[in-house]
Amino acid sequence: MYFLYSLLLGASLIFGWPFWLLKVLRRRGYIRSLPQRFGRVPRRLRDRRPSIWVHAVSVGEVMAVAGLVEELRKRFPELRVLVSTTTPTGQKVARQTFGEASVFYFPLDFQFAVRRWLAALRPKLVVLVESEFWPNFLRLVEGAGVRTVVVNARVSDRSFPRYLRYKGMMRRILWGIDLFLAQSHEDARRLVSMGARPRHVVVTGNLKFDVKLQAELPIVAALRADFQRANAGPVLVCGSTAEGEERPLLRAFKGVLEEYPRAVMVLAPRHPQRFERVARLVSAPGLKLWRRSRWKSGESIGGGVLLLDSLGELSAAYGLGDVAFVGGSLVRRGGHNILEAAQHGIAILVGPHTENFRDIINLFRQAK
């Protein structure tokens, strides 16, 4: 099974080179990550002390495990607590949160790459966030005698049928994991259906409820002051928007401007590579556009769109809003975390596709 999987993985890399080339060209940060993804361990991480390896895919997972990483460092001062990510945006936030010396890119699931990282980090424990089930990685971790736990474990509606289709393979993979801490009873049921050992699955709730409210950033305080000076409002913060969502949101906002000419939309696309495209979308219908990257304190904003073309500021920026729209929910992406907006006590709008956060959404609906 593992030989065939590795063969297919290698073939996808070789024959899919146009896709990878396009990805590298579109995301400049991606090319810098390639050496680490192929097993090159930076000198700063070549420490003979053993470690705890925490893998958080992107920004949401990084923020979710911030408290856990802090607690692990307190409880196990003799171990290094190191954090890997998959996405460049997750890498940037992780470096800001945990320090560059403790953060790296997760290797591609080739045995040679994984072995190099295991040899360098010497982990005593591997902590995976949500649903990172990489066959070669988990087999090599188990073979090295390293304990593995999946925290905030969940199985999305989209992934579940696919996992069941390969239940035989998934059973082998999941049996090597020592503990699953599931977000909900439904996630626990799905994990067991996929092949996890029932006694190794425990429901502990969603770590994202434990995320602390981010301290107000200077940029947010400056924007709030400028909004007040310009008598701008109401403010609609549209966060983590995906391809296909900005057009209807901008059409709706034009309707808002007819009744509230000083209204402001703070628009934060999910992926940095889309910032330029979204800027053009805003300008096309003649809407006023300000870009966070070019905005200077004292510049009047009102009656238009502020494009939040930055990283790590959305959570605090929700505090500017009277209403928040949380993206990935008008299109079939499964939605994004509404708790970042909810922490500021503002009204929240979502589209119909919220499968990734179904339990949180249901709790909010039940509480009205």
Query: Which of these is catalytic: 61, 130, 132, 245?
Result: 61
The CA distance from 106 to 28, in Å, is: 17
Identify whether the C-beta of residue 305 lies closer than 8 Å to the C-beta of residue 323.
Answer: no
State CA 351 to chain mean position distance: 19
Strand partners for 265: 236, 305
Which strand ranges, in their side-by-side order, compose the sheet holding 304-307?
288-291, 304-307, 264-269, 235-241, 323-326, 347-349
The CA distance from 182 to 189, in Å, is: 9
Residue with tokens 């626990």: 188
Name the token pair of 354. 């919220």
CA atoms within 13 A on the CB side of 232: 24
Known catalytic membership, residue 61:
yes
Neighbouring residues of 77: CB distance < 8 A, sequence distance ≥ 6 = none
Catalytic residues: 61
